[in-house]
Structure 1
Amino acid sequence: MPQVTIAAVQFSSGNDTDRNLARMLELVDRASDSGADLVVFQEFCNHPVAYDSQDHVWQSAISEDGWWVQRLGAKAADRGVFISFNATTRGPWPSVHDQNYLLSDSGEVILTSHKQILMGDEKTHFSPGRKLEGVVETRIGRIGLMSCMEGLIPETPRVLGVRGADIILNSLSSNGLDEAHTHIPVRAAENEVFVVSANRSGPLVDPVDVERVAREIGFDPDTLLGGGESQVVDRDGESLVRAKAHVDDMVVTTVDLSVLRPDGYLSQRRPELYGVLVEPTELVEKRWQDRPQARPAVVAATGLTATAAGEDVVEVALAWCRSTEADLMVLPELFSCRPADLRPGTLNEAVASAARVVDQLQDVARERGCHVVAGLPRRVTGGFANSAVLVGPDAEPIWYDQVHVHPDDADWAVPGAEFVVADLPFGRVGLMLGQDMAFPESARLLTLMGADVVICPTTWRRPWEARLAAPERAAENHVTVVAAARADSPVAKPSTVLTFPAQYRFPETGEVNMPDRYDGEDLGGAVVVRIETSTSRDKLLMQMTSLVADRQPDLYTALTEPV
């Protein structure tokens, strides 16, 4: 069934579980009348997260084989639709999980998932999921399930993508505006799947609990509103349809699964290099212990690029490095080369020229007492590599050879075999290049290796890379990302620096986890930013949930299995 009609539904729910269920049954009828094959509901459909005690949590939860599931199953069978919803689900007292359900069009439970990464007070009330995420084959495609916070880190949606999901259903109960514009669409683009998100509308808790909960967590009561904006996102990260913010709404659209590209990013992954993703957290934290002290630094990125016009871009770049007051300067991917230089007949000359450029950059670094990263080609065992070099005033150059080679470069570039970090006076930096940005594993691995700053000479090739991937790599890892983009990138976007402020500003900003963004003034222009690398070492959201320590590496083994 290549074409599937999907309804994403958001509604206000309170403490009356009977009323919530009745509302859901009505909404299924409405969605079915609109032609939906699949109806997707939000997180915590049965009861919002506001409780008096753990016994209250347990008593308010549903049973997996109880009347809630039975009534919704009967409605699914009656209307011939698939239904996805989320409800707190009790186990042996006092255990309760935040659980997703997928009901078939015959009314059976065909897939469940437990939320693995709990946010804020959820950690007080619920048990985190400990089971591997699954994907189920249905007549409307292969479907995977996840919830809210699981979309703020890359691993859970990536596991679903690797396991063959065509559609990922994401249930949310969030008041973060950044969910709809960044965190949800990026998971669709990087995994080349459709993502359907359903986010709560109305108060995040029952109106009778709003004032109390706001006092307890120190929020303005007016900010305790479900963000809504439920949506269906295509594999390029574009929203096909999006509901209104904050209010009850339903959106319906039809997607064509035949447009999925089975040989895209997932087939270009390098799982043999991803072992750090499944290392125990204590081993990761041990690796961080020898990092240099975090200090403020000034970073700069430019789009200076060789052009067919013949301008001596190397001299211009050297002059820029000499005149820019920065501790770290970044030049674009293959900045000294024109596309015509990267061909069998001209590669030797381009590589010889690049070797001279390294010596010149090293001289500038010594003169200025700074560090420079540049994208350059170099000769390696087996051929040539698309590489980044880091030069400084003292040490020998450090090289990184691109791990994820773009298909357009595969005729000349040999893939690299390792990720690289280096310690600088202001913190630890990690290197990646261009196409690596599209793979969440790249920045994640560098973060787990202790990087405070991720440096990426790049070429913007797809619209979603600059719009979604760059900010998400900073957000999901709480690191600074410095991306120096070629001025002749196919997608005309400037260089950018994405970094976090000293203070966590939610809910004032309305965004749960977004970096500050500083773009170059034009495509070839520079951006210069003072950063606080110490903020990269704070991985907490809402003071309780860690982007690293709350991961469950033993559930990510699919990420290291051969493609």
Structure 2
Amino acid sequence: MTKRRFRAAAVQTLARLGDLDHNIAIARAYVEDAVRQQAELIVFPECMDTGYLFDSPAHCRDLAETVPDGRFVSALAQMAREHGVYIASGITEWDAAKSKIFNSGVMFGRNGEVACHYHKQFLATHDQNWFEFGERGCPVVDTDLGRIGLLICFDGRIPEIFRSMAMQGAEVIVDMANFFAMDQADMWGPARAYENGVWLVAATKSGYERSIYYPGGSMIVDPRGRVLSKVPYDTHGLAIADVDPALAGDKSIYAANDKIADRRPDTYGILAAPYEATPVYRIADKPLIPSQSTAKVAAVQMHVAADTSADDVFDMMDHTAKLGVKVITLPEYAFCTSWLPNAAVARALAAQTPAHALRAAAIARRYGSLIALPGVEAADGRLYVTTLLIGPDGGEIGRYRKTHLTAEERPWATAGDTYPVFETPFGRIGVMSGYDAVFPETSRCLGVAAADIILWPAALREPFERELLAVPRAEDNRVAIVLSNRVDCAYPGGSVVIPPNGFPHWDINVVAPRSLKMGAVMPKHIDLALCRQKLMIPKVDMFANRLTQTYAPLVAA
């Protein structure tokens, strides 16, 4: 089917609890306004028919509608048919056949037919008071506007849901939401659009409903993560933008890489494993000793360059360990003058790795620290982009071989195929190297494998790798992220340690301004108990609440 541009509208408004007539009138007014502005896809927020904060499950059941003949959904179907447009909305649904109430999303086609029907999967605390977990998987449907997938609010906090739709060819994701916090709009929406290369049309409420404040944040985001239109906070209105679904076919990143084609589904099997069969389940109730459950970690922004030598790098590592840092991470290819080595340079670097490991081991022993040493490893006639973990006794704890290679690394490097998590005196530690972090599967595999801390030696090439992906990689998995970046790469500096619960403000450039200084050391104390505690809010566990039976697209070849 030939793709064409169309206009989308995301509605920011507020439903009135239990007042169907009022809510239908609101919907009709916005549909007419959006159609006047030539919108062909109009999206309303979550539970737009009934409101959201019910008195009880019985109250919710009394208000819930059936699909497709409930009053609100019938009215939307009639509006879609009358104007020849697509209309999507969140609804409170009673499924008589299952005798269950679902937090649902429904999209009507131009003729008023149900084009897509979705159940919210990742339920917030309030949801679990009255709704059942979704049973419709991650649907994506073909329309004359393109391939469209539906999700609801908190679903966007679980990377597997967005990704499963992208893997089914979704070009546009419709999000019907009740955002409680600004970061969900400002960071997670653009982050999911960017990492999957898809359009996002997100509609949320604004105002107060009983004990909940909805700030707003309705927006339309392009496949590069750029916000094209957004309704201001604390107001009602429409976000309007032209959507070109063909742009979602371009998954390119860097000079010659692809965010979808470069995935390694053969290595992601743990993501589809039942929670009870995973390491993160096995440690969930394992006690910690408070006095032994903190680790001082640091990203050391230091590498060999025109005016710095390997001796300078080791001196900075020594100074950092001397001040009590117990986990030290260097940037990618730290002992190389190039952030993007060719085959000859990589071979020379591999020859130096054993000597570098011995020098790092001496520092580790001297101060009882763990040092992550990124470099190149020669083994069995092959070269690997490898990070060695050297323990406080000077011995090797383990090594990680980079799994996702850039186009420039593939001619000389062999990719790894596992995501090991190492038990250390300073917590359970995993590594993702450079390009690995672009793929949410990497950090999720490490999270499911019960990592407390993920070390990220990097040579960043795009601003959004730091600005949109770094904090979600920590918060999605409730792990500490230690990002150590070079100062000579395409997007230099900005090394940072991100705690498992993120920062007080969503914008990483506000809370951790990007330093470009060679030799900058970014330290932070990490509470391992906070890393083991995987609840985002009460009853919302970032791993236990995953519906892994719906993740088949993630591991399909």
Rounded Cα–Cα distance in structure 1 between residues aligned with 2:287 and 2:336: 34
Q: Secondary structure at the match of 2:516?
A: coil
Q: Determine if contact 2:288/2:529 at 8 Å carries over to the other structure.
A: no
Measured in 2, the distance between the counterparts of 1:95 and 1:346 equals 62
Matches of 1:333 and 1:354, distance apart in 2: 13
Number of residues paired by the alignment? 537
Structure 1 contact 118–149 (Cα < 8 Å) conserved: yes
Query: What amino acid sits opposite 1:46 in the alignment?
Result: D
| CA pair 425-87 structure 1, distance change in 2 beyond 3 A | same
Shift of 1:17: 1.2
Which residue identity lines up with residue 102 of structure 2 in the other structure? Answer: H
Secondary structure at 2:399 match in 1: strand
Using the TM superposition, give the Cα deviation of residue 65 of structure 1 relative to its aligned residue in structure 2, in angstroms.
Answer: 1.8
**Residues 342 and 412 of structure 1 are in contact (CA less than 8 Å); yes or no, is this contact kept in structure 2?**
no
Q: Match for residue 218 of structure 1? A: none
Gaps of 5+ in 2: 253-257
Residue by residue over 1:406-450, the C-alpha shift from the partner in whole angstroms, topping out at 9 and shown as x without a partner, is 223222221111111111112101111011111111111111111
> Given that residues 178 and 514 in structure 1 are in contact (C-alpha distance below 8 angstroms), is that contact kept between their aligned partners in structure 2?
no
Aligned match of 1:151:
156
TM-score when normalising by structure 2: 0.92
1:436 and 2:436 are equivalent in the alignment: yes
Contact 1:229/1:243 (8 A) holds in 2: yes
What is aligned with 1:9? Answer: 11
Aligned position for 1:320:
316
Residue of structure 2 equivalent to 1:221: none
> Paired residue for 2:183?
178
Match of 2:449 in 1: 449
Gaps of 5+ in 1: 215-223
Tell me, yes or no, if the aligned pair for 1:117 and 1:128 is still in contact at 8 Å: yes
DSSP-derived class of the 1:244 partner: coil
Distance in 1, matches of 2:530 and 2:334, equals 30
- Distance in 2, matches of 1:281 and 1:370, equals 33
Q: What is the CA-CA distance between 1:354 and the residue it aligns to?
A: 2.3
Q: Which one-letter code corresponds to 1:148 in the other structure?
A: C
1:339-354 superposed matches below 5 A: 339=338, 342-354=341-353
2:556 — aligned with what? Answer: 561
Structure 1 length as normaliser, TM-score? 0.91
Q: Distance in 1 between matches of 2:485 and 2:215?
A: 33
Which moves more between the two structures, 43-52 or 273-282?
43-52
Verify the 8 A CA contact 1:475 1:515 in the aligned structure 2.
Answer: no
Cα distance between partner residues in 2 of 1:340 and 1:426:
29
Q: 1:382 deviation in Å?
A: 5.7
Is this contact kept in 2: 1:496–1:517, CA < 8 A? no
Which residue identity does 2:83 align to in structure 1? R
User: Is the partner of 2:529 in helix, strand or coil?
Assistant: helix
Report whether the alignment pairs 1:36 with 2:13: no
Query: In the alignment, which residue of structure 2 is the partner of 1:129?
Result: 134
Q: Where do 1:281-300 residues align within 5 Å?
A: 281-284=275-278, 285-288=280-283, 295-300=293-298
After superposing on structure 2, the runs of 4+ consecutive aligned residues of structure 1 that deviate more than 4 Å are: 289-294, 513-520
* Residue number in structure 2 paired with 1:59: 62
The CA deviation at 1:24 is 0.3
Quick check: 1:527 aligned with 2:494? Answer: no
Identity %: 27
Picking from 247, 256, 261, the partner of 2:244 is: 256
**Partner residue of 1:82 out of 82, 86, 89:** 86
Indicate the residue corresponding to 2:255 in structure 1: none
Closer, same or farther: CA 474–302 of 1 in aligned 2, 3 Å:
same
Distance 1:357 1:292 in 2: 34
Residue 222 of structure 2 corresponds to 234
Q: Structure 1 pair 180/495, CA: closer, same or farther in 2 (3 Å)? A: same
d(CA) in 2 for partners of 1:340, 1:287:
39
- SS for the counterpart of 1:378 is strand
1:46/1:514 CA distance change after superposition, 3 Å: farther
C-alpha distance in 1, partners of 2:103/2:121? Answer: 9
Match of 2:541 in 1: 546
Pick from 43, 48, 61 the counterpart of residue 45 of structure 1: 48
Query: Would you say the 8 A contact 1:304–1:317 is kept in 2?
Result: yes
> Post-superposition shift, 1:237?
1.2
Q: Alpha-carbon deviations, 1:225-247, whole Å to 9, x = none?
A: 21212001111211111111122
Asked whether the 8 Å contact 2:103–2:119 carries over to 1, the reply is: yes
User: Aligned pair in 2 of structure 1 residues 407, 333: CA closer, same or farther (>3 Å)?
Assistant: same
Which is worse superposed, 51-60 or 360-369?
51-60
Aligned-partner Cα distance in 1 for 2:508–2:49: 30
Tell me how far apart the structure 1 counterparts of residues 443 and 117 of structure 2 sit (CA, whole Å).
30
Rate the CA distance shift 1:29–1:51 in 2: closer, same or farther, 3 A.
same
1:70 correspondence with 2:47:
no
Given that 2:8 and 2:242 are in contact with CA atoms closer than 8 Å, whether structure 1 keeps it comes out as yes
Residue from 286, 308, 312 that aligns with 1:311: 308
Aligned-partner residue type, residue 322 of structure 1: D
Cα deviation 1:48-91 (Å, max 9, x = unaligned): 22223322111111110213222211211221211111101101
